[in-house]
Amino acid sequence: MNFKGSRLLLLVLISLLFFTNKSWASEITFQQVVEGALETNSDIIRAREEVEKIERDIEKVKADLNWQVDLSGSSGVNSSDDANLNLSLGGDRSYLGGLRLRPEVYIEERDVFEGLSNELGFKFNLSRDIYPRIPSGEEKRLITLEYRLEEAKRSLDQEISRKLIYWLEGYFDLIYLKKRVELDREQEVLARDNLDKTLARQKIGEAGEEEILTARIQLMEGEYSLRERKNNYEQRRRIFYNELRIEGELLLSLDARKDSFKEMEGLLEGLDFNLEDRSNLLESIMENNSEFFRNKNSQKLLEYDFQWSKVNNNLGVSLNGSYDSLRDDWSARINVTYNIFDGGQRKLEEEDFELQSNELERNYREIIERLELDLDTLINDIELSQMNLKQRDLRLDRANLEEMAARQRLERGLINEVTYEEKRKALEEARLSFKEAEDRLLISKLRLLEALGLF
């Protein structure tokens, strides 16, 4: 499969759908809201701060490996009434391979009061672990931090992608709730007008009590439906505004450019993935999943630690060298150590390794099982959304035919305007349901793309 997309895809889609040239002081577009929410959402902020924290920790380790320069001095008097003053300027540098350098410039001044001696000297110390060739403490720390950084970056990317899809879905919900409020308002107006006409007909004896009661019931049903829909819309709107931090007098524009949907569909269909090829889909999901990646890293680090500990418990060889210019003294040493008895530490480390390894392996299998279920859910959701879209398309065709037939019957005087308006409203509802089904399919596809790591 060719998975070469990026998270920018969704931002492009959002721009295609929701960018508008309208510019009112109190109105804000969905694109602008998303741009702000990406900076203020608490979950994204926590994930971003974790990345920044690990990056700082890496810089701290690298700073510790860089040159450390210190100035020191001492003075004192001995039993012979000699006063002395020592000053030194020394540097210290450690390298990832285990090499450590310590150059130093120093002054020794003896019998300060008489000024008998004032000498400038140079020292140099070198140490290096020869065997076993395992990472130094700083290098181990860097390896761990670099793995953690990659995990944190994946978690941040995943959090951003999921929030974008979640917000887009919420925005679609608001659009269709608002449009259904408008349809219910039209129905309520129609029911009120019908009641007025029925009352007028009653006065001339053309309508009875049963028709009046029916008209009143229809009006009450319309009022109830409108009130319920408005309350639902307002509740969802407040939740959505709170989640995306839309404050003050700002009003979120719900005027989406739906003609861009086909353009979006073209972008999505251009991505190469086959719903029938579940093994490759699962493999891609596993590669992208942050929890799976964290488990694999933990297994690698555990194996590294165990191997380092195993070779470090036996033979040890190190090299030390020094030179002192004032004393014209140099030395070179090879230090050899061999651990004969460790008090059972090695056995305990092996048992601990087995316990941790088994736990990570169990967690690994659980993650795979969960990802398999997630993949099935994502694919089933897409297939159901596709079926629902086809069904809505057929219902829209039927509603078009029924509205056309009703209009012709109205023109011939075979039905009244109220009956025709019911068919027209049913057509508007069918159109709305079809567009809603299109967007449900879009959200389903985006969720699979997110799991595959395509943006």
What tens digit of pLDDT does each residue of 374-385 get?
999 999 999 999
pLDDT at 388: 96
pLDDT > 70: percent of the chain:
84
What value does the mean pLDDT take over residues 285-295?
92
pLDDT at 397: 96
Tokens standing for residue 70: 């210190």
Q: Domain range for residue 94?
A: 8-452
Decide if 229 is inside a domain: yes
Decide if 276 is inside a domain: yes
What value does the mean pLDDT take over residues 18-28?
51
> Both ends of the chain: CA-CA distance in Å?
15
Q: How confident is the model at residue 271 (pLDDT cuts 50, 70, 90)?
A: low
89 CB-contact burial (10 Å; exposed 0-12 / middle 13-18 / buried 19+): middle
Q: How confident is the model at residue 25 (pLDDT cuts 50, 70, 90)?
A: very low
Which of 15-24, 132-141, 167-176 bottoms out in mean pLDDT, i.e. has the lowest?
A: 15-24
Pair 281, 27: CB distance under 8 Å: no
According to DSSP, residue 22 is labeled: -
Decide if 2 is inside a domain: no
What value does the mean pLDDT take over residues 256-261?
48
Q: Indicate the pairing of strand 315-324 with strand 251-252.
A: unpaired
Decide if 1 is inside a domain: no
Res 12 pLDDT > 60: no
Single out the residue of 345, 346, 319 nearest to residue 332, CA to CA. 319
pLDDT at 3: 40
Chain centroid to CA 171: how far? Answer: 19
Decide if 170 is inside a domain: yes
Type of residue numbered 278: R
Decide if 274 is inside a domain: yes
pLDDT at 229: 93
The neighbouring-strand residues paired with 335 are 318
Separation of alpha carbons 282 and 375, rounded Å: 7
Separation of alpha carbons 171 and 439, rounded Å: 11
pTM of the predicted model, to two decimals? 0.78
Q: How confident is the model at residue 71 (pLDDT cuts 50, 70, 90)?
A: confident
pLDDT at 77: 61
Res 11 pLDDT > 90: no
Separation of alpha carbons 11 and 351, rounded Å: 50
Helices and strands: H and E segment counts in the chain: 10, 8
Single out the residue of 57, 53, 50, 38 nearest to residue 290, CA to CA. 50
Q: How confident is the model at residue 211 (pLDDT cuts 50, 70, 90)?
A: confident
Q: Examine residue 103 and say whether the peptide bond preceding it is cis (omega within 30 degrees of 0).
A: no
Residue whose entry in the numeric block shows the structure tokens 């509205």:
403
Decide if 445 is inside a domain: yes
pLDDT at 22: 43
pLDDT at 23: 41
Decide if 3 is inside a domain: no
In three-state secondary structure terms, 86 is strand
Separation of alpha carbons 269 and 264, rounded Å: 9
Dihedral sign computed on CA atoms, order 159, 164, 169, 174 = positive
What value does the mean pLDDT take over residues 82-91?
77
**Which one is predicted more confidently, 70 or 18?**
70
Res 262 pLDDT > 80: no
Q: How confident is the model at residue 83 (pLDDT cuts 50, 70, 90)?
A: low
Give percent helix, percent strand, percent coil of the chain, each to the nearest 5: 65, 15, 20
pLDDT at 301: 92
Res 372 pLDDT > 80: yes
Separation of alpha carbons 447 and 270, rounded Å: 16
CATH code of residue 88: 1.20.1600.10
What value does the mean pLDDT take over residues 335-342?
82
**Which one is predicted more confidently, 24 or 252?**
252
Q: How confident is the model at residue 270 (pLDDT cuts 50, 70, 90)?
A: low
Q: How confident is the model at residue 72 (pLDDT cuts 50, 70, 90)?
A: confident
- Rounded to the nearest integer, the mean pLDDT of the chain is 83
Single out the residue of 215, 208, 209 nearest to residue 193, CA to CA. 215
Structural domain count of the chain: 1
Pair 103, 119: CB distance under 8 Å: no
Q: Where are the alpha helices (DSSP H) in 289-344?
A: 290-312
Q: How confident is the model at residue 311 (pLDDT cuts 50, 70, 90)?
A: confident
Which of 141-150, 201-210, 339-348 bottoms out in mean pLDDT, i.e. has the lowest?
A: 339-348
pLDDT tens for each residue of 430-442: 999 999 999 899 8
The neighbouring-strand residues paired with 102 are 125
What value does the mean pLDDT take over residues 180-194?
89
pLDDT at 417: 77
